[in-house]
Amino acid sequence: MKIYTKTGDAGTTGLFGGPRVSKDDARICAYGSVDELNAVLGTARSTGLSAKLDPMLDAVQHELFSIGAELASPDPEQHKLKWDSDPHVSKLEEWIDSMEAQLPALRNFILPGGSPQAAQLHLARTICRRVEREIVRLGHDRRVSDVSHIVIFLNRLSDLLFVMARYANFERGVADTTWGSPRTPQS
């Protein structure tokens, strides 16, 4: 089977078990952004995350693929692609609590950065927030089945990625950069 089919050359793509739609359809944009998030998590994993953090992101990547499959189907129930977020949200909360218990108390806003691992995790967090906004927007479309369970997962995932970024810095002995009041630019 060839990777190129030429069926999308006119700017449309097929939904799983459904019709062809424009490639700029909100559903396509949403699951495309889920794919982008998954790719940036793969990039974060390539930076040499610790044995504690890497398996977490491996699990998250698998769940994001399941979310993408649900979003790619106009009728996820019929195609048995409806994804159950509850156990995964609980797992994310467990991981957050475990890492936060080891980190210094958060007293200031944190600027993205620090170690290369933390910087990639912060980037993933910002992409996750954008994906969440796109899924919320998609949820306003009456033709789309309920996506609130996906929004909850992504909301918790962005929290996890923030804590993971702090934890990656902590593991490497790199201090988080805290935000202060606006400063005068230096010349």
pLDDT of residue 79: 64
pTM of the entire predicted model: 0.90
pLDDT digit string (tens) for 108-147?
999 999 999 999 999 999 999 999 999 999 988 877 778 8
Query: Which of 27, 137, 141, 35 is CA-nearest to residue 19?
Result: 27
Percent of the chain with pLDDT over 70: 93
Q: Which superfamily is assigned to 20-173 in CATH?
A: Cobalamin adenosyltransferase-like (1.20.1200.10)
Distance, in Å, from the CA atom of 136 to the CA atom of 75, rounded to the nearest integer, reads 18
- Domain ranges within the chain, ordered by starting residue: 20-173
φ and ψ at residue 108, rounded to 5 degrees = -140, 165
Give the Cβ contact number of residue 140 at 10 Å: 9
Tell me the two tokens of residue 86.
């509850």
pLDDT digit string (tens) for 14-34?
778 778 887 888 888 999 999
Angle formed at CA 20 by CA 149 and CA 72, multiple of 5 degrees = 20
pLDDT digit string (tens) for 162-180?
999 999 999 999 999 888 8
pLDDT of residue 85: 81
